[in-house]
Amino acid sequence: MTKDNLLQSSSSSVARGPRGADGLIDNLLSLLSSSNGTSYCEARYHSRLMTEVNFINGDMQRVRVVENAGCGIRVLVEGCWGFSSTSNIEPGALRESLAEATSSARVLAQVKKNKVKGLADSRMARGEFRLKANGNLSEVDIEQKIKITKEAEQAARKHSKLIKTASATYRELLDYKAIVNSDGGEVEIHDSKPEFSVVAVAGKTSQTATAHEGVGITGGWNDLFASKSHLDYGVEAAKRAEKLFAARHAKGEKTTIILDPGMVGLLSHEAIGHTVEADFVLSGSIVKDRIGEKVGSELVTLVDSGNSDNAENAAGTIMVDDEAVIAERTVIIENGILRSFLHSRESAMIFGVPSTGNARAFQYNDEPLIRMRNTFFEKGSDTLDEMIKETSHGYLVKGARNGQADANGEFMFGAEEAFLIENGEIKELLRGASISGNAFEVLQSIDMVGNRFKYDIGTGYCGKYQPAKVDGGGPHLRCTAVIGGLQ
């Protein structure tokens, strides 16, 4: 990969390089050359500037800028990983950190049974990568970030007397990374990920209803507010909280469920995505040994991609992972057939495939782990109207909330709104509920796939030892699952 392949950024610099870090790449490369006795060595400098503003009920609850920068050094010695990090990037401190990583790897060699066999040959990235951003966040003043957050919170709270609590949060991550490794990876990455969200709580003391409205993307200031203004987020959250407050709870039953793109994103990520992470597969996930088998309805094609496929600005876009591997579009399930797991170079070696570019680290002092990026279902041919019309009894569920999944494919996640469908028509809005089932039974049950695509879980972070900015989505999907509520 050369600089010619790079996506263009609308501004000259998305995230700045480190203060006084000229010649950083050269320093890191010279460090690699001193990594005697290691079979692999990687040095990853990561500088992150995080800005956050939060207003609750008219008060500024939080304002902060957090600078976190340093170098993570990872080595493979006698088939064992050692990882050490330091915020001091002077050559001497880097060498000390390398020595620490090397000696802890040696210690492990005495207790570890299954040694790392090696790292799969993969498409190493070289050059400079800038993730597309319209409107450089670092050029937008802190006053402006405070102002829009304050106004959006106010718009939600002032919308109606029923809104008891409102909050609005603006957050941005501006990243600069320089990654080099002993297998030829040599890359600089500039990334920009802003997010904005409003929460409105309706109701009196004993009964309340909560609604969320937000957006999280890879991109710039103008991308963040391209489809809706900051005030729209406030008003929409308030309107929904008001409606939910007046709604009844859903009844528990197993029935036909139409998932909105956000819920489809959660299904992709939580229910299936985690079971195909190769580290999870090696621990005995339900899809172990099932590559090539039918695991879902043939209407199902599921993808995890480091690029923003099908729609712009997906929050999990990385282009290059933290092992300096090009972050490929990975087809996990193709027309119902399981095709691929998600890999780092270590797991890819075990499975005899190239890495899919899923090794990610949240900050400099985190080691790369197998993580998802943008996980989604490909769209089909049905309109949402047709899907509702052809449902005699069921629910349309919207608004992805928390989700969790187990190794056996059982999942549970929350939806903010559930619309009861009777005889092909939407009858009534019900309060959010949990949706659960076995991921692969649900996949098998998918019988209609919508024709409009959207990413919609970009405000969320995935947690697996470390947070990771991910996204997910797809079209509307019709399936069978359990909706839970009060009995």
Among 34, 87, 222, 381, binds other proteins (CB under 8 A): 87
15 binds other proteins (CB under 8 A): no
The answer to whether the CB of 85 falls within 8 A of the CB of 365 is yes
The answer to whether the CB of 154 falls within 8 A of the CB of 160 is no
Q: Which of residues 359-398 bind other proteins (CB under 8 A)?
A: 365, 367
Contact region with other proteins (CB under 8 A), list: 24-32, 75-83, 260-268, 313-321: 75-83
Among 32, 80, 187, 259, binds other proteins (CB under 8 A): 80
Q: Which of residues 138-197 bind other proteins (CB under 8 A)?
A: 141-143, 146, 150, 164-165
How distant, in Å, are the alpha carbons of 92, 196, 282 from that of 232?
52, 12, 45
119 binds other proteins (CB under 8 A): no
Write the CB contacts of 90 (distance below 8 Å, at least 6 apart in sequence): none
Closest CA to 454 of 384, 368, 354: 384
Least spacing, CB of residue 72 vs other proteins, in Å = 9
Among 113, 227, 292, 352, binds other proteins (CB under 8 A): 113
How distant, in Å, are the alpha carbons of 140, 188, 369 from that of 134?
12, 20, 30
What gap in Å lies between CA 317 and CA 306, rounded to an integer? 5
21 binds other proteins (CB under 8 A): no
Q: Which of residues 212-241 bind other proteins (CB under 8 A)?
A: none
100 binds other proteins (CB under 8 A): yes
62 binds other proteins (CB under 8 A): yes
Tell me whether residue 265 or residue 450 sits nearer to other proteins (CB atom): 265
Number of H-type helices and E-type strands within the chain: 10, 23
66 binds other proteins (CB under 8 A): yes
The answer to whether the CB of 457 falls within 8 A of the CB of 470 is yes
402 binds other proteins (CB under 8 A): yes
Which DSSP string corresponds to 134-153?
SS-GGGS-HHHHHHHHHHHH
Least spacing, CB of residue 348 vs other proteins, in Å = 15
Q: Which of residues 264-323 bind other proteins (CB under 8 A)?
A: 279-280, 282-284, 286
E strand or H helix that includes residue 96: helix 91-109
Tell me whether residue 279 or residue 328 sits nearer to other proteins (CB atom): 279
Least spacing, CB of residue 114 vs other proteins, in Å = 5
The answer to whether the CB of 457 falls within 8 A of the CB of 471 is yes
Least spacing, CB of residue 366 vs other proteins, in Å = 9
Q: How many CB atoms lie within 10 A of CB 59?
A: 11
Strand-pair partners of 404: 412
Among 103, 222, 381, 451, binds other proteins (CB under 8 A): 103
246 binds other proteins (CB under 8 A): no
56 binds other proteins (CB under 8 A): yes
> DSSP secondary-structure letter at 6?
P
